[in-house]
Each structure stands twice: as structure tokens, then as C-alpha cells.
Structure 1
Amino acid sequence: MYTQDIIKMIKTNYPDQKEFHQAVQEVLVSLEPVIAKDKKYQDNAILQRMVMPDREIAFRVDWMNDEGEVQANTGYRIEFNSAIGPYKGGLRFHPSVNSGIIKFLGFEQVFKNSLTTLALGGAKGGSDFDPKGKSDAEVMRFCQAFMNELYRHIGACTDVPAGDIGVGAREIGYLFGQYKKLTNRFDGVLTGKGLTWGGSLARPEATGYGCVYFAQEMLKERGESLSGKICTVSGSGNVAIYTVEKLYHLDAIPVSVSDSKGTIHDKNGIDLDLLKEIKEKRRESLEEYAKIKSDCKYIKISDYQEGTHPVWSIPCFAAFPSATENELNLYDAKTLLQNGCKCVSEGANMPSTIEAIELFLKSKICYGPGKAANAGGVAVSGLEMAQNASMYSWDFESVDKKLHSIMESIFVKSSETAKEFGDPTNLVLGSNIAGFRKIADAMIDQGI
């Protein structure tokens, strides 16, 4: 079969890139019905072309720490597909970053951006640099060194990076400042900028808010809501924090957050102000949350069963994986379902393993895959680009309203496509095919 041949090719050509294999397999298997239905995709070798990036850029980043010692890291930018618009996707600074991680993220980004209804291609980038524990001066010097190479490959109508794990407002500021020095241009070349110099209101909130809006749409179709329901959230970064915030807006009860060391279970509801203080201002472990708020439970990952995550052992109505890839495995999925979970909406990129996804689909719960459910972040990045191009800014309510509308549109398109192919509850099928057809048809229109 055509799709299986492409999957085998990827595994042969890139044997060590396991996350990329997983991302390609998850998408291509779900595309089999549309490939069988329309011969033009195979005739134009669309799958072969779509799984190969337009270009892969890797470079050395030399910088100096506060002790005057020279350091070296590797930087990446993988521009995957620009059939429907300029490349768009975040930069991730984390020790786990390698070419395979960036490639899987870039591949996912292509489909996610297609679903937003905006004219955005897909890309991803980053470095194995770890900003944790670094001074502001060290982060600045690294960002400047990183941009010394990256600026050659980006532009407001070419490739527009944003933030991701390890790249927040501080890093975007340093990156943009260096870009401006190197090019003598004030372009909308990065998103996630400061509000006083081209940023968009609601951008920090967008991924978390959007993920909850998507869950709301899934539940609404079944005559249910989040009001009064217990919800679990993993992670404690931007996505998780604003998922918690939006859940409160809808009268839900978010009872968990997590980080690399453990999970907070606060049965009365996460103290959002305390969470923001610890993670956004003090940048400390969630252990500090438990020290301050003694009536909650702190579960150390080291004390929990190996290969599982304690956050998914907490009974809930809806779960929001908002940390990192493959954080929710088959055991976790079984535990969630046994404890009565009716909805999973993914705030992170590919947070569930293929086995977990298969179980969610088989159980017929509301399952929102990441490329659909977490598209709110890049959607508002696209809105920031539009504001930059028009040299005009919208107020928070306007951006939030547009975000809600985009998330509703993503759900409707995914749902309608799933119904078209005879599996109404399978939003993996629906979102993958909907995203694919838009890109593939553009590629055919533009020739080879």
C-alpha cells in the first residue's frame, strides 16, 4: 500500500528519528481513505514530497557564559512546507532538542497551520541550549549568537518563527533585537513579541484558551459541557497555565498541574495566582506550591510507577495533556478511562502515544488531537502577523473572539470531514484529512 511504503521509507532513511516516525505514521495511516478515493495524490507523489522538508538547516551556536567560558550548542531550523503560506512555527530551547524532534514538530505544524484557516506554511526550529538556570545576560548572548545565523533564513513573508518550550517573551525580545541590528529592518519576523513593539494581545493565552474552546465544541455536539466538571491538566508552562485559567472561565474545576519533578493535586481547584507567581515570576519547581498551600497533594514522579505519569491517575471528567510529546501512554489512557474520563483535549504536540490514541478512538470519548486542539497558539500568531502587516492592533476581546471562531471552525471542518469518511467521532481522521487536502491541492496547483 502506498502509505505503508512511505512509512517504511521514512524509517529506513531516518532510523534514529523515532518521534518523526510516529508523527508520520499517525498521519499517513489516517490518510489512507482519501488516498484511495482520489488517485491524483499518488499520481503527483504528494506523500513522498510532503514527508520531506523543503530544507533542513543546522548550525553551530557559539556563546560565552558569565564566567567567560566559551560554550557551543547546535541550532536548527527545518522549513517543511510553504504551499499555502510562509513558513510558521516555534523555536524550542531544551536539552532534548535534536533534528528528529524538530522534524516531527515541523511535520505536525504543517497540518496544524493548514487547519487554522490562515495562510501559513509549516516549520520548526530550536536548539539543545537549556535556558533554565541561566542568567538573563547568558540567555541574551545565546539568543544573539543564535540569530546571527538564523536571520539569513527568515523574513516576514518567508519564515516567521515564534516561541515554544524554553522560548518566551524574554527570548523573543533578545532574538528580535539582534535581528533588527543585523538587518536594519523592523519586520513582523517573529511572533510573541512585546505588546509595545508589535505583539498581539491574547498571544500568551492562545494555546491554552484554544484547547479549552476545542473541548467545549466537542462536548457541545454531545449535549455536554465543562461546567462543574473536574479537569486534570499536565504541565505548568504557558499552555497549562492558561488552560487552567480558561477552565475557570467556564466554571470547570482544574485540579492538577505538573512539571518535570512531580504533580500538584489540589482537589479544591488550582490556585491560579499562586501558580503564576511560582512559574511565571519566580520560575521555581511546583514543590514550592505545595510548601505554600499545604492542603494540596504533591506527588513526586520519582515515587510513582515507572513509565506512567501521576497526573493521569487523578479521576476527572476531562484531561488536558499540556506538557510534552508522549507524556500519556497506553497505561495512562486505560487509567483515565477507568476513572471516568469523557474528554481528552491535547494542548501539547503529540502528547499521546499511538496506542493511547487508538484506545481513545475505540472508546468513542471526545478526543481532540493536538494538531487541531492546540492550534490556537499559531492561530493568534497568524493574527499577530496580520496586525503587523496592517500596522494596527486589536483589543483583547477582538483577538479572543477571533480565536474562538477559529477553534470552532477547526472543530467543524474536522468533524464534517470525519463524517464524510464514515467515522463521525474520529477527529484524528477528520483533522488529518482536512489539513492534508488543503496543502496537497495547493502543491498540485503549483506544479513540481
Structure 2
Amino acid sequence: MVQPHEPEFEQAFTELLSTLKESTLFQKRPELERLIPVISIPERVIQFRVVWENDKNELEVNRGFRVQFNSALGPYKGGLRFHPTVNLSVLKFLGYEQIFKNALTGLNMGGGKGGSDFDPKGRSDNEIRRFCYSFMAELQRHIGADTDVPAGDINVGGREIGFLFGAYKKLRNQFEGVLTGKGLDWGGSLIRPEATGYGLVYYVQEMIKYATEGKESFAGKRVAISGSGNVAQYAALKVIELGGTVVTLSDSRGSFIATGEEGFNAQEISQIADIKLRHEQLSTLENEFKGKFKYVEGSRPWAIAGKVDVALPSATQNEVSGEEAEALVKAGCKYIAEGSNMGCTLEAISVFENDRLKNAKGIWYGPGKAANAGGVAVSGLEMAQNSQRSNWTTDEVDAKLKNIMVNCFNNCVETANAYNAEDSNGLPSLVKGANIAGFVKVANAMIAQGEFW
């Protein structure tokens, strides 16, 4: 199952298995335990070289990957990531998480992930186009609207999806919904860029309602967010819309921290979005923010944000350590949910879960496979619109997204209660509920299809 030198995948596998074993799942459904080795090996791993020409007419070569992990619930579905850190361990962890995340949306999607160690930063549009065409020349053999439907991920946005789709259409002479995150004029869905951030906030909104028996909301809450890409930007905008105060945003080199009670506004988030499009560092905005925010070089927000009520890690994996988790608890944080995939280390999750064991009013932790499922949920809605050759309105898509996230939260709670995946104080563990609900749905489908007997 776990191969040597695959630390990210080992972490995802260990986290899932430990939570399943801590519940009564295998006592109530003992036949499912034998499925663990089956579901933890991808159905297919595709690795290929990508040879392309830079603007100096020099040949460059990168590694391309697609991990087709599980198709029990539908076509493989998961993003493409272009980043120097991409390797098989990272993509297997992401694909493994994607299986259960997609199951929690309630839509018919399997799990997969892919990408390349190509770094688009500093590259011209023509270089990125040439790379995308070369990448798709191989990937197109293995994908299709009813087989595998990739989407965007880190460094794969609207521009890259456009180039990849153009290459696919040219190579296959087919216009089909083979990629999601497409432009609105040629098959894309409204709300797709906003979906992960909005969905994250909708999920946490349900956490707050449940924990306070409907007495509280985001209104008046101080919210720490990491990252400054799509997820962080749209999560911040939705928090502001719901009456919360966003006191931090960050990039790979440091964090902006509010110096007073006032948080980010929509105009300042728009400035950050412009900086990100130009691949510049957030620190260049410090003078424009005129003392309202301090940029702290080399630090993530969690230990330096001061008092916060909600924390939304939305940058990358393992961005909240055990020590930073303890700092959040001490700062009075009551709700944390992952906008990034596997945003918290195992040590951090242990801190949050143990805090709940000691205190019925302790911290609520929402795992990424549930909390950030909004992005792939709207990708699934884009697939549905493509199949119908139709377009839904903003309000229609947003309402469907909110309904999916509310149902996802309720599913986590109900499953935790059903399998005694609770804290000692009787409150449901959302991480255990999410893991069990996703796993059981996929396992039932595999058994029904005769893949496991």
C-alpha cells in the first residue's frame, strides 16, 4: 500500500485508517476492513515525459503524471497541479483524499489527481502554451468526459485550462466536457473560481450553528486565513459578506497581520488578487496598506495573529504544525477548517481533537476532504451542465453549492454518531465522521460492482 519515500501518501493513509479503527465501523461492518489494502492502491498510475521548447528555442523536459485512483462512483475526477514539488507521493496523497472528498459531495465522481513538476512562474504565455500542448499530447490518451475529467489546481488556472482544452480538442477532434474550470463562453460554470472558498465558509457556518445551537454565526468573528490564491480570496470575501473580520492573509514568504481591530475589505483583497496574477510577493503592498497590516517575513499566521475565533488554512498541505495548533487553541480559536488539502499535520489534528476531549466547548476541526469539497462539487455541476448543453445562473449554482456543503456537514455529524465516532463528551468528531462516510460510500459501490467480495 504505502511505498518507501512516500511521506505525504503515508500521512493521508495513516490518518484515514486510524480514524476508521477508532470507531465501531469494523465491529459493525467487519467485511470492510479487508478492503483497506484494495482501496489504498490506485487503479492506474500514468507517468510520462513532457518535452517542450522554451522561448530560447531550447528543449526542456518535465515529468507528467496522472493517478487514476478509484472509479467506483464515477469518472476519475481531480485537479492538475503544475509545481516543482509535484511527485508521485504528493499526487497519490491528493488522489487518495479526492476519492473520499468526491464521495462526500453526493455527486457521481471517482477520485484522481495529476500534474507535472513544471513551474510556470517566470514563463511567458507562449512557453506555458507550448508546455500545455505537449502535456496534453500524452494525457489525452487516458482521459475523456466519461473516463477521467481533470480540473485545475495549484498553478493551473483559467489560462492553463484553456490551453489544455484547446490541445485536447485539436488532437481528438471532440468538443466535450473533458476538463472543468473552463471559460464561461465555452462550457465553464459560474461560481467555479469562487467555489472552494465559498464552500469552505458555508461548511464552517454550519459548524458554528451546530456548536452554538443556532445562536451564533460569522458575524463579529475574527478570522485568520492563510494563502492568497483563489481559495483564500473568495473565502475572505464570503466571510466579510457574512459579517466576519478577516485579520490575516499570507503567501510563501510571509503573512499580513492586521495591526488593529479592522480587517481586510473587498478592495484590498482585489489588490492582492492583482498581485497574485502578476506572480509578485504580497510584501510589495505593505506601503499601500499604510500601517493597517504588518507583513511578517518568514512566518505563517497561526502563532502571530493574536486572538482569533476561526482559522482557515487555505495555502498548502501541512501548513499548521502541532506547535501552531497549540498557539491557536491558546488564542481562543474555536473553529478550524481546511481550505487546503491536508492543511494540518497529524500532530496538529491531535491537538485539536484532544482539546475537544478535555472541553465540551473546545475547538471544532473540519478536515479538508469535507470542508474544501466545494471546488470539486461545482466541477461536478459543470460536468452536469456540459452533459445537458446548458448553463445555470449564478444563483442556481450557488444554491446547489450551499446545499451540498450543508448536506456534507450533516453527513459527517450523522455518520460520527452512527459509528460512535465521538469525543468523550459525546460530541461528534467531524474528521472521523468525514472519513467513515466517504469510505463506506466507496466501499459499498465496490462491493456492489464485484470488485471486492
Q: TM-score range by the shorter chain?
A: over 0.9
2:391 — aligned with what? Answer: 393
Q: How does 1:41-60 map to 2 (within 5 A)?
A: 41-42=32-33, 45-60=34-49
310 and 218 in structure 1: CA distance in 2 versus 1, 3 angstrom threshold: closer
2:446 — aligned with what? Answer: 443
Q: How does 1:13-162 map to 2 (within 5 A)?
A: 14-32=3-21, 33-42=24-33, 45-162=34-151
**Partners of 2:249 and 2:301 within 8 A in 1:** no
> What amino acid maps onto 2:445 in structure 1?
A
**Partners of 2:302 and 2:320 within 8 A in 1:** no
388 and 138 in structure 1: CA distance in 2 versus 1, 3 angstrom threshold: same
Unaligned runs of 5+ in 1: 1-8
1:284 — aligned with what? Answer: 280
Report the identity percentage: 52
2:291 — aligned with what? Answer: 295
The Cα shift of 1:409 comes to 0.3
Render the CA deviation track for 1:157-193: whole Å, top value 9, x for unaligned. 1000000001000000000000000000000000000
> What amino acid maps onto 2:343 in structure 1?
P
Q: How does 1:5-20 map to 2 (within 5 A)?
A: 10=2, 14-20=3-9
The Cα shift of 1:277 comes to 3.3
**Partners of 2:81 and 2:152 within 8 A in 1:** yes
**Partners of 1:218 and 1:366 within 8 A in 2:** yes
**Partners of 1:93 and 1:165 within 8 A in 2:** yes
Residues in 2 aligned to 1:155 and 1:218: alpha-carbon distance in whole angstroms = 37
**Could you state the TM-score of these two structures normalised by the residue count of structure 2?**
0.93
**Partners of 1:299 and 1:310 within 8 A in 2:** no
The Cα shift of 1:269 comes to 1.3
1:349 — aligned with what? Answer: 341
Q: Does residue 1:429 correspond to 2:397, yes or no?
A: no
SS in structure 2 of the partner of residue 244 of structure 1: helix
> What amino acid maps onto 2:235 in structure 1?
T
Render the CA deviation track for 1:171-221: whole Å, top value 9, x for unaligned. 000000000000000000000000000000000000000000000001101
The Cα shift of 1:311 comes to 4.1
Render the CA deviation track for 1:6-60: whole Å, top value 9, x for unaligned. xxx52xxx11000000000000111123123212214xx3111100000001111
Unaligned runs of 5+ in 2: 357-362
> What amino acid maps onto 2:204 in structure 1?
A
Residues in 2 aligned to 1:80 and 1:96: alpha-carbon distance in whole angstroms = 20
**Partners of 1:279 and 1:285 within 8 A in 2:** no
> What amino acid maps onto 1:292 in structure 2?
E
1:320 — aligned with what? Answer: 312
The Cα shift of 1:96 comes to 0.5
Q: 1:222 aligns with which of 189, 197, 211?
A: 211
Residues in 2 aligned to 1:145 and 1:245: alpha-carbon distance in whole angstroms = 37
The Cα shift of 1:272 comes to 3.0
Q: 1:408 aligns with which of 383, 406, 411?
A: 406
Larger helix percent: 1
> What amino acid maps onto 1:85 in structure 2?
G
**Could you state the TM-score of these two structures normalised by the residue count of structure 1?**
0.94
291 and 68 in structure 1: CA distance in 2 versus 1, 3 angstrom threshold: farther
Residues in 2 aligned to 1:368 and 1:389: alpha-carbon distance in whole angstroms = 32
1:265 — aligned with what? Answer: 257
**Partners of 1:321 and 1:348 within 8 A in 2:** yes
Render the CA deviation track for 1:259-308: whole Å, top value 9, x for unaligned. 01110113421243333334344332111221211223333443x5xxxx
> What amino acid maps onto 1:372 in structure 2?
A
The Cα shift of 1:64 comes to 1.1
Residues in 2 aligned to 1:292 and 1:70: alpha-carbon distance in whole angstroms = 41
Render the CA deviation track for 1:363-390: whole Å, top value 9, x for unaligned. 1212110000000000000000000000
**Partners of 2:286 and 2:295 within 8 A in 1:** no
> What amino acid maps onto 2:329 in structure 1?
L
1:3 — aligned with what? Answer: none
Residues in 1 aligned to 2:171 and 2:268: alpha-carbon distance in whole angstroms = 40
